[in-house]
Amino acid sequence: MTSYSAPLDDYRFLINDVIGLEQVTALPGCGEMNAEMVEAILSEAGRFGSEVLAPLNQSGDREGSSLENGIVRTPKGFKEAYKLYAEGGWTAMTGAPEFGGQSLPWLVTAPINEMMNAANMAFYLCPGLTQGAVELLEAHGSAEQQETYIARLLSGEWCATMNLTEPQAGSDLGSIRTRAVKEDKHYRISGQKIFITYGEHDFTDNIIHLVLARTPDAPEGTRGISLFIVPKFMINDDGSLGGRNDLRCVSLEHKLGIHASPTAVMSYGDDGGAIGYLVGEENRGLEFMFTMMNNARLLVGSQGVAMSELATQRARAYARERVQGRAAGSKDAVSILNHADVRRMLMSMMAQTDAVRLLLLYTSAQLDVASKHPDENIAAQHQQRVDLLTPVVKAWSTDIGIESASTGIQVHGGMGYIEETGAAQILRDARIATIYEGTNGIQANDLLGRKIVRDEGRALSDLLAEIRADAKKRNDPRLSQGCDALNEAADWIVKNYADNADAVTAGAVHLLRLVGIVTGGWLMGRSATAAKAKLDSADGDQVYLNRKIVNAAFFSENYLPEASLLLEKIKGAGQIVGDTQIDFFE
């Protein structure tokens, strides 16, 4: 099965009636955006995903990308799909208008990212990363760098990559050894980078690598990292391509999933040093790269939502069609949808997909206000909310993506274990998303240390105050109890972190899930309230609106009660972990 149907009803309802498109259209530069325009854009994106990308998903997984004599070839149809993607203007949906960008709000870009990822995650890794590179260059590139690169990235003529880690470094970027030696107006880059998504491919004539490296006199650790633009081909003064730079793909990784996406080992400087151009100032590279990394973390969050949605669609369709067994009180064989446990599994997938999609859209709208609001204080408040929720979007959504993909296999039964159904590919593809762009454990530690301990829980307290007010208004005791548990957890963390950081961080992943469940439960409640209001006014599809109400009730009944247990885990996990000696694992 290769089908994918974009959930346009969901986007229409959630953006207009739950999140509120009006808060975005009121921002400078967004005045022309309206509900009709948003629907037209999302409908066309959904059509492209369903008709162009989805049919290549399973064939691309089977064929994979290949490396021959230094040349990477992507699966059949991928290069042509990228050409259509660029011609359709999708490469330009982000980015400033002066460079040819459409500057779409993130509230509109996020669902496009989800749809493209659901249709073909392995394909979309390439243009998705280019989005982040454009944002980085707009924020930190020189005027000359912006003029040279951004327009060509937005047109789709060129693509961009992110070169962070190395064989000995992993996630510890302070350990990178790639060197950058100044030479006239450029630097000579030498070293090896691993896990470079689309580090080499056949989509475009040039690839712009954004590379972290260390100058000879740089301080140790992350404070000594600088950021460089290293093009695959040099660029002449008239904008044409010159000679090949001193870099090459030496191998492609053999992976569990996303086979169509070439994950490259890149070597720089085998013949004297690749030419690179410093972005901003020396020793501020990691700071600048975080612009791209945070963009990528929200993109990866959309992958989690996408995989959950895709798995849910496949499982629902199979459950309607598969006839097996007899329901209670029936003498005839029935579709497995008639079995209560199958309905339970499907409802868990549907409810959790709703929750993570709402969190993604809510955070995207907050980002729009943070980046465009003219009042600096209001913008700063919304940016604080974005900073708090970004690790949750990345980690909780991708955890749910894996859970839904695994449950989807279970719904398929034995056929789910067979590659031809496509259910197994979803799980294999989804599995990477909890690892890259900072593992989910790293996201949890970021949430705990940088977003809660550092400001003594103030940003979280502001969010909880808003959630509590809604819970009281809706008379929602489960959500109120979830707020109590999260508040107690945050207080305990802030109080104990300085004296026993190891014990506190042992519960970081439980904290992140707790934030996700409480925030998701809040947004699901808002969704149910909006759906009831539309039902009362006889406005909209009754079947769809009732589904939103049931999904919210299912989430409240099945996931909000976890809050008290997660609180116990947060407080208790560290004691056992801290008391366990290293030789226990030998």
Catalytic center residues: 437
Q: CA-to-CA distance for 487 and 446, rounded, in angstroms?
A: 18
Judge contact between 151 and 91, C-beta under 8 A. no
- State both tokens at 552: 């919210």
- SS3 state of residue 200: coil
The C-alpha R_g of the chain, in whole angstroms, comes to: 24
Closest CA to 296 of 203, 435, 154: 435
Sequence-separated (6 or more) residues with CB below 8 Å from residue 558: 348, 351
- SS3 state of residue 103: coil
- 22, with CB counted inside 10 A (0-12, 13-18, 19+), is exposed
Distances in whole angstroms, Cα of residue 312 to Cα of each of 419, 442, 550: 17, 28, 16
> Torsion over CA of 163, 81, 108 and 200, rounded to 10 degrees?
0
Sequence-separated (6 or more) residues with CB below 8 Å from residue 440: 394, 395, 398, 399, 434, 509, 512
Distances in whole angstroms, Cα of residue 77 to Cα of each of 197, 203, 365: 19, 11, 34
- SS3 state of residue 65: coil
Q: Can you spell out the DSSP letters for 264-281?
A: EEEEE-TTS-EEEEE-SS
Among all chains, which residue has been given the structure tokens 């947004």? 523
Q: CA-to-CA distance for 12 and 336, rounded, in angstroms?
A: 31
**Side-chain half-sphere CA neighbours of 207 within 13 A:** 26
